[in-house]
Structure 1
């Protein structure tokens, strides 16, 4: 199959590298005039024979037959020409910042605005847990977020049973 990845940051380039190993051809489309991914990832991507990189491109249309995708159209941002790419799949990897503005001053946030969590999903506030793409956990993937959500829920439950247990009194012990 032929696929496109939209986005030239780390997420997009990593997706393109992964896909290049299992599909016939990958077209990576980036809005900016250059990729923003780490240099090591860009070098790896450029070394792959079945990858085409298109920069300064604005995706304008996804094409399909009513049942499945069969192409996309992008506009060259420097010359204004439009181009059609025939393909069977599109992966959007534009990497948005997390919607955590409302948490500023409540829990610790990373410079990117991600909620800082430990290996149990605990935030900087005791008893407050977080999971998913808005946290500092790497690999923003659904399956990772699901596992992290389960872990945070179990950690929250453990926290609750340990902190809300009644203090044993002599009467309670005798009963």
Structure 2
């Protein structure tokens, strides 16, 4: 992205797009645990969205990897659907808000394992049937028999190509104002790639509409001559 009165977007193919306004909606991707079996059993027992895929595991045993807010929230939600939840946290303590931890502690079908590093997702060639982890204190390896693994260790915004161009948060998300405007005039952003909380489709759709209206308002108020863009092209 090259900001300016006329913005440019340089693509990997070598093409250059020019426009008076740009709306960035490149989204985010789930952070992966990068262990054997994760990619092989994705959508065959390995999942990343408890709201989307939780009901598919009704009455089954699952694991949630991650002890932050998203992980503990996922464990709480899944506990009302599945038979049993094993929450695996790499650190010595859970990192979720205290109110979430208190709620988690009241659930009888949830087991929390701390100081555990997930090492492999097992399967029968078609679907997940287990998970292995190493106790980071003793070094011992353990296996948990289950049918599903929910990876909840955060999202990675697709903004690597924007570093040094517009303002990003410490998590790499694009910082936007109430109209979806970024730190570069005429450059807007919407959806999971931004600092807007709650990464849900319905929210991203609304943010997209807002950014489009913000871009439209910018064009009206900028007073640029239509021939300027044609000349730049």
Q: Counterpart of 1:52?
A: 111
Q: Does 1:150 align with 2:208?
A: yes
Structure 1 runs not aligned, ≥5 long:
168-175
Alpha-carbon RMSD? 2.8
Work out whether residues 130 and 152 of structure 1, in 8 Å CA contact, stay in contact via their aligned partners in 2. Answer: no
Is the Cα contact below 8 Å between 1:62 and 1:73 reproduced in 2?
yes
Given that residues 122 and 152 in structure 1 are in contact (C-alpha distance below 8 angstroms), is that contact kept between their aligned partners in structure 2? Answer: no
Residue correspondence of structure 1 range 109-124 to structure 2 within 5 A = 109-124=168-183
Q: Which runs of 5+ in 2 are unaligned?
A: 1-59, 227-233
Paired residues, what number?
166
Does the residue aligned with 1:75 lie in a helix, a strand or coil? strand
2-structure distance, mates of 1:27, 1:5: 6
Measured against aligned partners, the alpha-carbon deviations of 1:59-80 in whole angstroms (never above 9, x if no partner) come to 1110111111111111111111
Q: Within 2, Cα distance between the matches of 1:2 and 1:10?
A: 21
Which residue does the alignment assign to 1:171?
Answer: none
Task: Work out the CA distance in 2 between the residues paired with 1:157 and 1:87.
Answer: 49
| DSSP 3-state at the match of 1:129 | strand
Match in the other structure for 1:170: none
Contact 2:69 2:97 in 1 (8 A): yes
Q: Which string of whole-angstrom CA distances, capped at 9 and with x for unpartnered residues, describes residues 35-94 of structure 1?
A: 111111111111211111111111111011111111111111111111111111111111
State the TM-score, normalizing by the size of structure 1.
0.78
The list of structure 1 runs, each at least 4 consecutive aligned residues, that deviate by more than 6 angstroms after superposition, is none
- Greater displacement, 76-85 / 101-110: 101-110
C-alpha separation in 1, matches of 2:202 and 2:197? 9
Q: Does 1:20 align with 2:79?
A: yes
CA contact (8 A) 1:132 1:144 kept: no
For 1:105-163, what per-residue CA distance to the aligned partner results, in whole angstroms no more than 9, with x for missing partners? 6433334442222344322323111234332111234x257526733663365246524
Match of 1:36 in 2: 95
CA contact (8 A) 1:5 1:91 kept: yes
